[in-house]
Amino acid sequence: MLLKFVLASFVLLSSIRDGSAGMTSSFVRTKWPSEDMPVDHEVFAIPKGYNAPQQVHITQGDYDGKAVIISWVTPDEAGPSHVQYGTSKSNLQTSKEGTVANYTFYNYKSGYIHHCLIEGLTHNTKYYYRIGSGDSARDFWFQTPPTIGPDTPYKFGIIGDLGQTFNSLSTLEHYLESGGQAVLYVGDLSYSDEHEFEDVGLRWDTWGRFAEKSAAYQPWFWNVGNHEVEFMPEVFCVALVENVREKYSSPLWYAVRRASAHIIVLSSYSAFVRYSPQYIWLKEELARVDREKTPWLFVIVHKPLYSSNVAHYMEGEAMRSVFESWFVQYKVDAVFAGHVHAYERSYRYSNIDYNITGGRRYPVPDTSAPIYVTIGDGGNLEGLASSYLDPQPEYSAFREASYGHATLEIKNRTHAVYNWYRNDDGKRVPADSLVLLNQYW
């Protein structure tokens, strides 16, 4: 039924593509004010018990999904830093020691930040894990991904610029209903830097407790946005990315493979010009992509390369001019970005054949190009970016300034169903849907 609906919308969208330009939705969403939820809101509740672990989150700890990094914070003392885990809830037979760190910022003390890398897991297996000790111990679980393979189905969620307002809560709750198995996070997490002094750190802690509901049970693939790099105390992001650095010798950009997807995470806030470390790395990583094993190739980055929103207009141009020709050459399926607090999806367009005297300086339809999705609409306290360029550029297929999240459900090597859900009076309503046909197969 859903697929039928999706196919119908795809036919509609395809016919739009041949004729007129894209669509600007007139939907207006102002249900809740753009303010952070109060610190004493139940979603920020501190778990009971002395030194109880909080802000629990996991991410993939290796290239192919046989390792996870489990991270958490204990408030009172460093305490035990090990994770007990196993495939049976009643028999957590294996224990692995993690690392601990802490920092101060103004009068704020971070608590003790733990990271534990667990390797050698079996694919497609449910693991239970316990952290903390005695009465304060807490139990969680996660499911490892299936073995890498071309027709392995998998469902990703895509969230960006989430923050911690009531709109953010709506987005997270809707995502939890979606059946997504892992989150591609396009940057800007807590927006704690909008708060001053010790509240900066405090709002990292509240955000960590808020996101735990999902992030403790399935990996979130992090990407660094401007709200992570402009201020210092990144409990969540940089501390976490540090772990990734150990594995990929790179803190801010990395790649993982999961099920039938190869995911490349880029940093908008690190050098990417020719012969910079990120440039050299990406060139090598794209050459490593094996579409026979992982047919789906996605790129995550914070600043959009194509966006017709007035907010942050053209900020992604520099990276576009450096990387876009590779995205076309390697037939990237989709590029997901955040930064702009609204939603937009492009047609397959490119602007790599640049010749001013020849008159070629505009994006043109290109069947080898990725689609570009801007999904910085998680719902943070800065509110929506509701002003768009008019007329809508030809590359822009659909745009709407409201809050939401997306899912990307890979069916097999040729088909994936993509849906963007708007938060509509507390309901999740599919508002932009299409079937993605793989660019390689």
Ligand X SMILES: *[C@@H]1O[C@H](CO)[C@@H](O)[C@H](O)[C@H]1NC(C)=O
Name the site residues for ligand X (rule: CB under 6 A). 78, 102-104, 109, 355, 357-358, 411-415
| Pairwise CA distance, residues 405 & 162, whole Å | 10
- Closer CB to ligand X, 7 or 21, in the complex: 7
- Closer CB to ligand X, 28 or 101, in the complex: 101
Smallest distance, ligand X to C-beta of residue 100, A:
8
Smallest distance, ligand X to C-beta of residue 63, A:
26
Smallest distance, ligand X to C-beta of residue 362, A:
14
Smallest distance, ligand X to C-beta of residue 16, A:
22
Smallest distance, ligand X to C-beta of residue 328, A:
17
- Closer CB to ligand X, 81 or 223, in the complex: 81
Two tokens at 312?
Answer: 């942050």
Cβ atoms of 338 and 396 closer than 8 Å: no
- Closer CB to ligand X, 73 or 83, in the complex: 73
Q: Which residue has the tokens 């938060």?
A: 423
Smallest distance, ligand X to C-beta of residue 416, A:
9
Smallest distance, ligand X to C-beta of residue 348, A:
20
- Closer CB to ligand X, 257 or 413, in the complex: 413
The residues carrying an active-site annotation are 312
- Closer CB to ligand X, 133 or 412, in the complex: 412
- Closer CB to ligand X, 88 or 147, in the complex: 147
**Which residue has the closest beta carbon to ligand X?**
358
